[in-house]
Structure 1
């Protein structure tokens, strides 16, 4: 999927802000729903591509879980792991739906991660930095 250049630039800007807002943030990726890296702030580009692909797969699984359990479409996913957290938030852009993936170490506060990730997703949805 080819995104308009202004959306890619906005994704870079939004991720940069997100990395500064969340204590313990170690990676942030905006990807297409089919798993392609749009923008990322990670140690290397291979990690960004892997996170984008995983976000797509996990999001697809959660969509089925939401439908089958009759709670509706999922909006976000939070994973607590041994050494940190992963938060994935759908970006409901009308023409280009995407997924925001935020990874942080154990110093992060999960609720803060979800809050700031949702704000970042809203910025992408409307197509401008707030």
Structure 2
């Protein structure tokens, strides 16, 4: 994946900003569709490379299910857990489709994460 270093720097900054400004966010990873970490910011022992690989598989399942059900293009996937959630949404960087992955604990508010993820998408898709 060949993305301008300035765009990658903006992407890393957006990941850091979401991680530090939103309560309960444990990690933010922008990954390529083939499962590689493009930009990330994480806390604890989260591994961006593993998150990117798993999110790619989850996103692929979402694409197939939405196509099979004739629901149109898959836009996002949420995995709810006992202690939090993972929110995955499509994002475009320099014309290349990627996934924005947000891992959060139960103190995070899903609606806020969805809103701020949309803001990140808008800012990065114009850079």
Same fold? TM cut 0.5: yes
Q: Is the 8 A contact 1:36 1:53 kept in 2?
A: yes
State the match for 2:75 in structure 1: 75
Aligned-residue Cα RMSD (Å) equals 1.7
State the match for 2:54 in structure 1: 54
| 1:44 CA displacement | 7.0
State the match for 1:64 in structure 2: 64
Q: 1:45 to 1:99 in 2, by over 3 A?
A: farther
Q: 1:18 to 1:46 in 2, by over 3 A?
A: closer
For residues 44 and 11 of structure 1, the distance between their equivalents in structure 2, rounded to whole angstroms, comes to 20
Matched length: 127
Structure 1 spans left out of the alignment, 5+ residues = none
State the match for 2:97 in structure 1: 97
| 1:46 CA displacement | 6.8
State the match for 2:87 in structure 1: 87
State the match for 1:20 in structure 2: 20
For residues 27 and 6 of structure 2, the distance between their equivalents in structure 1, rounded to whole angstroms, comes to 22
For residues 45 and 106 of structure 1, the distance between their equivalents in structure 2, rounded to whole angstroms, comes to 18
Could you give the per-residue CA deviations for residues 6-51 of structure 1, whole angstroms, max 9, x where no partner exists? 1210111111121133210010001111111011112478710001
State the match for 1:29 in structure 2: 29
Provide TM-score, normalisation by structure 1: 0.89
